[in-house]
Amino acid sequence: QVQLVESGGGLVQAGGSLRLSCVASGRTFSTYTMAWFRQAPGKEREFVAASSWSRGSTTDGDSVKGRFTISRDNAKNTVYLQMNTLKPEDTAVYYCAAVKFAISTGDRDYPYWGQGTQVTVSS
């Protein structure tokens, strides 16, 4: 079992930046693929980015390629999402998720979720 706590959300103007953080409990963080998903009002949850447990390779969703960067610090049990050049359509609740010894862009494959952090981008 792993518990995830996100932070770093807030209100930002279009073109601005935010960095989200997600801290995981436990001692086996390096064995988990860590991912970020987001969900806007009235829309389905959308894959944003993932950092694989194996070699830390990353995968980015099409809508954020070139703007968002996922990274992880295994010593701190933390995964980050650096969001640059934010757009109003990036407004959503952002969730951190984890799955052990696997990698996926599908939210149903992740058994562990944080509570979410709100990101609002004003135009």
Confidence class of residue 62 from pLDDT cuts 50, 70 and 90? confident
Token duo for residue 45: 């949850």
pLDDT in tens, 68-78: 999 999 999 99
pLDDT in tens, 94-103: 999 999 998 8
59 pLDDT more than 90: no
| Spatial distance between the Cα atoms of 83 and 81, rounded to a whole number of angstroms | 6
Q: Which residues contact 46 (CB under 8 A, 6 or more apart)?
A: 37, 38, 39, 40, 61, 63, 92
DSSP label of 41: T
HSE-CB at 37 with a 13 A cutoff on CA atoms is 22
| Spatial distance between the Cα atoms of 101 and 44, rounded to a whole number of angstroms | 25
| Spatial distance between the Cα atoms of 74 and 77, rounded to a whole number of angstroms | 5
Residue 71 bridge partners (DSSP): 80
What pLDDT sits at residue 60?
A: 84
Confidence class of residue 63 from pLDDT cuts 50, 70 and 90? confident
| Average predicted confidence (pLDDT) for the chain | 94
Residue pair 97/114 in contact by the 8 Å Cβ criterion? yes
